[in-house]
Amino acid sequence: MGAIRETATPRTTVETFLSRARSLGERPFLHFHQDGAWRCLSWAEARQRVLRVAAALVAEGVRPGDRVVLISENRFEWILADFGIQAAGAVTVPIYPSLLQATVRSMVEDSGAVVGLAGTEELGGKLLGPPAMRRVVTFDPGLHRWFQREPPAAEVEELERRAARLGPDDLATIVYTSGTTGESKGVLLAHRNLVDMAASDLRAFRIGPDDVLLSALPYAHVLERVSAVFNVVTAGAQLWVSRGLDHLAGDLTEVRPTIMIGVPRLFEKVHDRVLQQAASGPGLRRALFAWALRAGRRHVQARRPGPATRLGRALADRLVLAGVRRRLTGGRLRFFVTGGAPLSEEVEEFFWALGIPVLQGWGMTELTSAATSNTETEHRFGTVGRPLPGVELRIAADGEILVRGPGVMLGYHRRARLTAAALEDGWLHTGDVGLLDGGHLRITDRKKDLLKTAGGKYVAPLPLESRLQEAREIEWALLVGDERPFVTALVVPDWGALRDEHGIDGDPDALAADVRVRSIVQERVDALNRNLAGFETVRAFAVLSRPFSEGDGELTPTLKPKRRVIVRRYREVIDAMYESATLAYRGG
């Protein structure tokens, strides 16, 4: 295929990808599992497929600025299609495959998409209906035929013209936020947003051609799409597409990545599994692991570890911790990055004690992924780090975090009023509440999630929920109290932990009312309440038998609870809990 314009300093996502692919040529780039084995595309092979997708879209009548929907589980084709859409001068509209059909169609209609690329026929069916949608192409066989198709000269020339006109301020993507409130908004991101934030990330993190990133989070989310995929492309590193969360443990040991991005729930589950396995082992092994973990904790807690602390850490590493790291990560991992939701300090410290750095960051779709992050050289527990290079932070009088920088969105699609409310003189009102601690940002809650009790007191639920969920017996905790006389909680036990550690086994529907279960939850609630002000204390709780689920619309794709959806769904349970608790409080 003919040459596409590439500049010395790429200013669009297309220039970035094509320049990297041209310079790295036959070096390995994109790995994926297919037919029982790992396969690999070189940079040159990926470049050829991207340009063929772009040419095929031109043949389909897609014009510069047209919207093209991309809906699929994580697959290597997703990445090639994304760059192919933008190489055609069009705008990628990524949609989570787990969303309900009505939600998908509303996004398709709002975006005005004219073509859809879908991983399966079933997913393609979700795109049909809106009048602008002309055609849906499935990955197999449609997209794979495009990969093999040799474009005629006229299409190649048209691609060259479009590439020459494409600029940094042109729209690259519309990303619909899943939203913890259940309301979706289309975030408009320009090419410069992605390119400039990737450059910022690579100034903060040492990532280069020798790095290997295992990719497991949804590509429809900016955290994985920008902070993983696009950063890998910008750095010229290698990307391996995980087979999915069910195979993640095996993928880690096979791929042996140097870098990976995860969400807090992933680290919480690994933390619980490691501790449960250690507790079920023989007595000597349990004692050895506990000693090694204490030695690791002492080392990470010490600002300047003394000789005895360093020696203890080195011995623990040689006898125990190095083996744990190999089993968990493959042994080459330099660091994990986590975001999308808060990570408890206890879990964060646990991984550092094992010798596995977990670098917590913070951002949002409206900021093109991360705006702050801890790094290998600048890290403070319990914070989401310092602003990334080029990013400015300001804390408003009410505690809201305001951000200005290269990642700030252009606005919300067809939402002029919401855009005006969110953007003020280049500053984004994030809706998150936080404070600066020695230059490091601490997130305290979402402004919209703050509970205002009937007595007018404000309660930040997020840190309290996180502390409850640190208990191995509690999988989920969600506080309730908005316009209510006091704070209560919906609690989902970890039924596996109750079985393994307390011998409580049976049908969760029956066990939800079991006095033993309620007694254990009550102990954890009492422990939380001991350090709270009176108006913050959790006065009552309801035990739910079923975990919150993304499939039921209760969790976002990054596994954050949708508070309003859950409260609405369990309204009768909540009303009954308050009625019972109020009667007990009054002595009725």
User: Could you read off the pLDDT of 475-494 as tens digits, one per residue?
Assistant: 999 999 988 999 999 999 99
Furthest C-alpha separation in the chain = 84
Q: Return the number of other C-beta atoms located less than 10 Å from residue 124's C-beta.
A: 21
CA distance linking residue 179 with residue 522, whole number of Å: 31
Single-letter amino acid, residue 61: G
Closest to 3 (Cα-Cα) out of 235, 144, 161: 161
- Mean pLDDT, the chain, as a whole number? 93
Q: Which residue has the higher pLDDT, 168 or 454?
A: 168
pLDDT at 183 over 70: no
User: Residue 319's pLDDT is what?
Assistant: 96
Binned at pLDDT 50, 70 and 90, residue 7 comes out as low
Asked whether the CA dihedral 246, 347, 228, 362 is positive or negative, the reply is positive
Structure tokens at 463: 């840190």
pLDDT at 206 over 80: yes
Single-letter amino acid, residue 79: I
Query: Each residue of 543-583: pLDDT tens digit?
Result: 999 999 988 889 887 788 989 899 999 999 999 999 888 65
What is the mean predicted confidence (pLDDT) over 289-311? 94
User: Residue 586's pLDDT is what?
Assistant: 44
Range with the poorest average pLDDT among 69-78, 161-170, 281-290, 575-584 = 575-584
pLDDT at 290 over 90: yes
What is the mean predicted confidence (pLDDT) over 63-85? 98
CA distance linking residue 44 with residue 34, whole number of Å: 20
Q: Return the number of other C-beta atoms located less than 10 Å from residue 154's C-beta.
A: 11
CA distance linking residue 481 with residue 461, whole number of Å: 9
Cβ 521 vs Cβ 577: under 8 Å? no
Domain coordinates in residue numbering, the chain: 13-167+205-262, 450-586
User: Residue 177's pLDDT is what?
Assistant: 87
What separation in angstroms does the CA of 400 have from each of 390, 394, 435? 20, 8, 9
Query: Each residue of 306-345: pLDDT tens digit?
Result: 999 999 999 999 999 999 999 999 999 999 999 987 888 8
What is the mean predicted confidence (pLDDT) over 415-435? 95
User: Residue 343's pLDDT is what?
Assistant: 87
Query: Each residue of 99-130: pLDDT tens digit?
Result: 889 889 999 999 999 999 999 999 999 999 99
What's the N-to-C CA distance of the chain in angstroms?
A: 81
pLDDT at 585 over 50: no
User: Residue 179's pLDDT is what?
Assistant: 54
Binned at pLDDT 50, 70 and 90, residue 98 comes out as confident
Structure tokens at 504: 């409580």
User: Residue 584's pLDDT is what?
Assistant: 52
CA distance linking residue 409 with residue 423, whole number of Å: 9
Residue 368: CA count within 13 A, CB half-sphere? 31
Cβ 231 vs Cβ 256: under 8 Å? no
Binned at pLDDT 50, 70 and 90, residue 276 comes out as confident
The string of DSSP letters for 409-433 reads -SEETT-HHHHHHHEETTEEEEEEE
Structure tokens at 223: 């955290």
CA distance linking residue 83 with residue 52, whole number of Å: 11
Binned at pLDDT 50, 70 and 90, residue 3 comes out as low
Pairing of strands 538-543, 487-493: parallel
Equal CATH topology for 13-167+205-262 and 450-586: no
pLDDT at 230 over 50: yes
What is the mean predicted confidence (pLDDT) over 523-534? 93
pLDDT at 519 over 60: yes
pLDDT at 17 over 50: yes
What is the mean predicted confidence (pLDDT) over 123-152? 96
User: Residue 452's pLDDT is what?
Assistant: 84
Binned at pLDDT 50, 70 and 90, residue 5 comes out as low
pLDDT at 197 over 90: yes
User: Residue 217's pLDDT is what?
Assistant: 94
% of the chain surpassing 70 pLDDT: 96
Q: Which residue has the higher pLDDT, 313 or 5?
A: 313
Q: Which residue has the higher pLDDT, 98 or 119?
A: 119
CA distance linking residue 372 with residue 393, whole number of Å: 9
User: Residue 312's pLDDT is what?
Assistant: 95
Output DSSP code: residue 55: H
Q: Which residues lie closer than 8 Å to 141 by C-beta, 6 or more apart?
A: none
User: Residue 8's pLDDT is what?
Assistant: 64
- Across the beta sheet with 474-480, the strand order is 474-480, 487-493, 538-543
CA distance linking residue 125 with residue 139, whole number of Å: 13
Query: Each residue of 339-386: pLDDT tens digit?
Result: 987 888 899 999 999 999 999 999 999 999 999 999 999 999 999 999
Query: What's this model's pTM, rounded to 2 decimal places?
Result: 0.86
CATH superfamily, region 450-586? ANL, C-terminal domain (3.30.300.30)
Q: Which residues lie closer than 8 Å to 424 by C-beta, 6 or more apart?
A: none
Paired residues of 175 in beta bridges: 187
Using DSSP, state whether 14 is helix, strand or coil: helix
Task: Please report how the helices 76-87 and 13-24 are oriented relative to each other, as an axis angle in degrees rounded to 10.
Answer: 120
Output DSSP code: residue 388: P
Range with the poorest average pLDDT among 167-176, 252-261, 457-466 = 457-466
What is the mean predicted confidence (pLDDT) over 452-467? 87
Class for domain 13-167+205-262, per CATH? alpha beta
Cβ 90 vs Cβ 117: under 8 Å? no
CA distance linking residue 363 with residue 254, whole number of Å: 31
User: Residue 198's pLDDT is what?
Assistant: 97
Cβ 134 vs Cβ 115: under 8 Å? yes
